[in-house]
Amino acid sequence: MYHPRYEKLKRQMEADGLDLVIACSPENSYYFMQTYIVTQTTLRDRLGLGLFPLDGEPAFVACSVERSIAEAECWIKDKRYYTEFVQSPMEPVIQILREKGFARRTIGLEMDYLTTRFYRELTEALPEATFVSCTNTLKKVRMVKEPLEIECLSRAAQGICQAVEKAFSETSVGDTERMLDHRIKRNLLDLGAQDFTFYCMGTGEKSLLVHALPDDTVFTQGEVMRMDYGARFSLYNADLARTAVIGPGCRKHIEIFQRLCEVYYEVVSTMRAGVSTRELFDLCKTRCAAARLPFTMPHIGHSLGIDLHEEPMLSPSQEFILQENMVFNVEPLITCDGRLYHIEDTILIKKDGYEVLSQPQFNPHILYIR
């Protein structure tokens, strides 16, 4: 009995005209082979590759250094190993393709992950094969989340929300961004996060730097700050953005953010199976104009899973129909009066509505540093 995800993949391969798919990114290694090789995320040459034919037996290729974890975790029976610095990972891959009769077939590759050097090895060794990108094929299979994935994403979303809210409650006027950053990270680890994928924070004019790192900027009364943090729980991503005012807060900052929250609430409230991604983007754009908020965003959110940005995106260039059990992060972000305002939560699509995974009682609002 093959893994259920392989059965989903074969259906998509048939629709996309692929005879075999080679998955090699850390995300797809974990998703399709249930094997997480941690060194693969930092050593790009230490590939773990899954070869999935439309017909026939799959195979797994990994570095011999990772044999123990491959044998313990990977469900695929046919496992081959290469010796690092002695062999190229492509040597066993080429051997398998020849053995299994795919030297003249259509083969899908993760073109946005596999390096040019390895691609050339494949094309030179198998000149009669047709190599095409299978990136979208793999993304389509991962779009709709399984119950266990939803559970992981829910735990991650609530964990990061709790970590951030607790850190803000521990922070006062006169503290620094670095102090708040340490509190958020400590809380994340205490709540079970494995690692931090990104951390951005900006106060005052620095808020305009979308991906600014926290530093020794002091929280001064009357200013605004925004933060956007990511972490992983059980290898699934959490992503949360919040805006705060410092001290009692400037009425102007609070009023601008309240208008953004109203737009945000309306967009999220529209989400359900059957609505299109383009429809949500257009709604956000229209409501921002009505609220006198400048709209310059190329997208208003993204799907979330074992990768930070998954498909579909909430952008004008795509028109996917939302399906039950898709998971999105919605994040309208505006620049107004010299400051950046941002809010983001994780949303589960249901048949007749939505569920905000990051905060069960959905109440978008500004945070305070007192």
Domain containing 9 — which CATH number?
3.40.350.10
pTM equals 0.95
CATH number at residue 158: 3.90.230.10
**Three-class secondary structure of residue 209 per DSSP:** coil
Strand order through the sheet with 49-53: 78-82, 59-63, 49-53, 20-23, 106-109, 130-133
Among 142, 176, 208, the domain boundary falls at 142
pLDDT of the residue at 44:
86
Residues 132 and 202 in one domain: no
Residues 220 and 167 in one domain: yes
Among 142, 163, 182, the domain boundary falls at 142
Residues 248 and 343 in one domain: yes
Residue with token string 């609530």: 158
Residues 129 and 162 in one domain: no
Residues 151 and 135 in one domain: no
Residues 128 and 232 in one domain: no
pLDDT of the residue at 2:
59
**Which residues form the domain of 69?**
4-142
Residues 237 and 363 in one domain: yes
Q: How open is the CA angle 289-291-297, to the nearest 5 degrees?
A: 50
Nearest alpha-carbon partner for 304 in 346, 364, 355, 359: 346
In the predicted model, residues of the chain with pLDDT beneath 50 are 1
Residues 129 and 244 in one domain: no
Residues 194 and 295 in one domain: yes
Residues 77 and 171 in one domain: no
Among 142, 177, 205, the domain boundary falls at 142
Q: How open is the CA angle 65-63-61, to the nearest 5 degrees?
A: 140
Residues 224 and 177 in one domain: yes
CA 22, CA 97: separation in Å to the nearest integer? 10
Strand ranges, E, within 146-223: 195-203
Residues 195 and 297 in one domain: yes
Number of domains in the chain: 2
Q: What's the mean per-residue pLDDT of the chain? A: 96
pLDDT of the residue at 1:
43
Find the Cα–Cα–Cα–Cα dihedral 143, 148, 149, 155, rounded to 10°. 150
CA 321, CA 160: separation in Å to the nearest integer? 28
